[in-house]
Amino acid sequence: MFTPLKIKNLTKCYGDFKAVDDVSFELKQGEIFGLLGPNGAGKTTLISCLVTLEKPNEGLIQICEKELSKAADVKKAKSDLGYVPQEVINHGYFTTREILKFYSGYLGILKNDDRIDYLLERLSLYEHRNKKVKQLSGGMKRRLMIAKSLVHSPKLLLLDEPTAGVDIELRNSLWDFVKELKKEKTTILLTTHYLEEAEELCDRIGVIDKGKLLKIDETSKLISELTFRKMHIKLKDSPKNLKESDYLKSVNDKDIVIEFPSQLTVGQVMTSVGIDLNNVVDLQLKEGSLEDAFLKILNHNAMSIGKSSNKNTNQNLTGAL
């Protein structure tokens, strides 16, 4: 089976600091994979290794089954790779169309007008094709960067915070475009701090913190396994036969709040708590979110590190005594 990206035991150090620490994962053709983590987690360093801006200390990187450690494969691998960095790049006095033509030529594509016109149209840049890049708004410049990354129809696209600082309308249009790329079998690795964006777009999620990949799974499974649903119930009459339950969070006369695992149904929980369905006037249900799952993974990791640190401190104190 074709593997657009394979990373095995990737480690990148800056002195004694491990920015990426023994990370391994693979991407499937046509999937959108979200790499999430707090600031400084190692996301951009990992991507910098993929685009050869940084050289890893250890590990294997294969892009479309070509190893970046082999000089003969690097050029071939880059021809299959598109990259949109976080920073908006200003191309000075060239026009939007000129930039895309220059970049096509750089990649060895001499006749690429149809592809350029398609990207200009799809990213709402066609009417600005003859404008100097310095005349474009920040959002338009970001669209141009995305168009630039796609002029050669790459098999693997790296999007590093592609919607940072853009308005809601542009963000939604970019979401739609990313979904179209998925239908065309383009594999996408996305980093973002907008967890709603990752939940909407990504088939799978990987959570990285302090250089380590903590968790990787399908987006729906992470939410189902790690989050709680919250139910607010209004009753006709004050409840008489409520049962003790860890799910029962508050009872205020006729208002009840229940939190329960996503795997359970509303009916199962109401029965276990002892609520009579005939006494229910209104019910509001809020599902768990990717943000909830993300925070739980990070908090669990922080607690594990804290316990390890305390254990080492206790050992050191014991030794000193």
Q: Is 304 part of any domain?
A: no
Residue with tokens 């943000």: 291
Residue 180 CB partners (closer than 8 Å, separation 6+): 122
User: Angle 113-122/138-150 helices, nearest 10 degrees?
Assistant: 140
Give 23-40 pLDDT, tens digit per residue.
999 999 999 999 999 999
Q: What pLDDT does 70 receive?
A: 86
Distance CA 197, CA 289 (A): 11
114 and 234 inside one domain: no
Q: Are 114 and 122 in contact (CB under 8 A)?
A: no
Q: What pLDDT does 315 receive?
A: 52
142 and 267 inside one domain: no
Give 168-215 pLDDT, tens digit per residue.
888 888 889 999 999 999 999 999 989 999 999 999 999 999 999 999
Does the structure show a pLDDT above 70 at 313?
A: no
Q: Could you list the residue range(s) of the whole structural domain that residue 234 is in?
A: 228-286
209 and 243 inside one domain: no
Residue 241 CB partners (closer than 8 Å, separation 6+): 274, 276
Tokens of 162: 């592609």
Give 256-290 pLDDT, tens digit per residue.
999 999 888 999 999 899 998 899 999 999 999 99
Q: Are 49 and 234 in contact (CB under 8 A)?
A: no
Q: What pLDDT does 241 receive?
A: 83
Q: What pLDDT does 88 receive?
A: 78
Q: What pLDDT does 171 receive?
A: 85
Tokens of 127: 């009417």
User: What CATH number is associated with residue 151?
Assistant: 3.40.50.300
13 and 66 inside one domain: yes
245 and 197 inside one domain: no
Query: What is the C-alpha R_g of the chain?
Result: 25
Domain end: 223, 243, 266, which one? 223
Q: Is 314 part of any domain?
A: no
Q: Is 207 part of any domain?
A: yes
Does the structure show a pLDDT above 50 at 317?
A: no
84 and 194 inside one domain: yes
* Nearest residue to 174 via CA among 187, 151, 190: 190
Least confident among 33-42, 66-75, 161-170, 235-244 = 161-170
Other beta carbons within 10 angstroms of residue 272's beta carbon come to: 15
Q: What is the percent of the chain with per-residue pLDDT over 70, rounded to a whole number?
A: 95
The mean of the pLDDT values for the chain is 90
Q: Is 320 part of any domain?
A: no
Distance in angstroms between the alpha carbons of the first and the last residue of the chain: 59
* Nearest residue to 142 via CA among 178, 169, 166: 166
11 and 149 inside one domain: yes
Residue with tokens 């990313």: 178
Q: Is 292 part of any domain?
A: no
Q: Is 313 part of any domain?
A: no
Number of domains in the chain: 2
Q: Is 303 part of any domain?
A: no
253 and 272 inside one domain: yes
Other beta carbons within 10 angstroms of residue 233's beta carbon come to: 22
123 and 252 inside one domain: no
Q: Are 54 and 12 in contact (CB under 8 A)?
A: yes
47 and 97 inside one domain: yes
